Amino acid sequence: MTETTSTTGRTTRTGTRSRRPRRLATPLLLTTGLCLGALTVAGPARAGQTQERGHGKGKATAAVVDSTRHGGRTLALTFDDGPDPTDTPRLLRVLREHRVKAVFCLWGDHVERHPELVRAIVRGGHTLCNHSLHHDDMGTWTEERIRADLERAGAEIHRAAPGVPIPYFRAPYGSWGKTPEVAASLGMQPLGWRLAVGDWEPPGTDELVRRVVEGVTPGAVVLLHDGGGDRSQTVEAVDRIIPRLRAEGWRFDRPARHG
């Protein structure tokens, strides 16, 4: 599955934050499938909109979060499209060995097939994110259709791990459409990213390490994948990236809780 390189559009127009230039998709990334740059440009974010019911705990807004909780020389690792019976357990082992907590954006169909892996993710102390039921492009969907999908995906996660918080939602392909408003109304904060490294290609472990180490910026949410294909290179890269970045003074953080 492919994702675009940036989803920052919604978080930069509140007036209280400086506008960041959109990261341009490289030709390399554009070869990976849908070119979704236009789809990620959505309407004005409804800053301040809050809802308190649903799958997450506390208040969620319709702003797409793409920064860490504490800022500075920190980054947050997020993994999409799992759980996967091969790569998710391996990734969980790597994260445990390095004592890093991450966010897992779960694909409903995969949750249905591997509920025990959802429980393993929760046992590992990681945070869950709803990544839709079938990984459809929801960019043109009505709010009603989006709500039905997100609720079913959430129910699938809760069937695997009853009562577990699902504080985030991430739109497949970064094709947000009306999903941020719906996710917020269900108590889930939309979760974007600042760095994607094309691990779906996959380009080789060395290259993945290089793209993360050279591409990371302070406070970045980083998009990686543990499902949707062979992600063994991603797992191997994470095992090498963590000690290397730590040696350079980076800390591993969670994404900001609210937009």
Q: Which of 225, 226, 239, 253 is catalytic?
A: 225
Catalytic residue status for 258? no
Candidates 58, 17, 34; CA nearest to 171 is 34
Residue ranges in 164-193 that form contacts with Zn ion under rule CB under 5 A: 172
Residue ranges in 190-209 that form contacts with Zn ion under rule CB under 5 A: none
Residue ranges in 119-158 that form contacts with Zn ion under rule CB under 5 A: none
Nearer to Zn ion, 4 or 67 (CB): 4
Nearer to Zn ion, 107 or 250 (CB): 107
Report the helix count and the strand count for the chain, using DSSP H and E. Answer: 8, 8
Least distance from Zn ion to the Cβ atom of residue 157, Å: 15
Residue ranges in 66-95 that form contacts with Zn ion under rule CB under 5 A: 80-81
Is 1 a binder of Zn ion (CB under 5 A)?
yes
Q: What angle do CA 207, 213, 219 make, to 5 degrees?
A: 140
Which single residue brings its beta carbon nearest to Zn ion?
Answer: 80
Least distance from Zn ion to the Cβ atom of residue 95, Å: 19
Catalytic residue status for 158? no
Question: How many residues contact Zn ion, by CB under 5 A?
Answer: 4
Nearer to Zn ion, 80 or 84 (CB): 80
The DSSP bridge pattern shows strands 74-82 and 251-252 to be parallel
Task: Find how far residue 20's CA is from the centre of its chain.
Answer: 20
Q: Where are the alpha helices (DSSP H) in 52-204?
A: 87-98, 108-113, 115-123, 143-160, 179-185
Q: Which of 55, 66, 80, 253 is catalytic?
A: 80
Least distance from Zn ion to the Cβ atom of residue 34, Å: 12
| Sign of the alpha-carbon torsion through 142, 6, 52, 155 | positive
Nearer to Zn ion, 1 or 122 (CB): 1
Spell out a b/e string for 37-64, using b for 16 or more CB atoms within 10 Å of the CB, else e: bebbebeebebebebeebbbeeebbbbb
Least distance from Zn ion to the Cβ atom of residue 174, Å: 9
Q: Are 137 and 4 in contact (CB under 8 A)?
A: no
Q: Please list the active-site residues.
A: 80, 225
What residues make contact with Zn ion under the rule CB under 5 A? 1, 80-81, 172
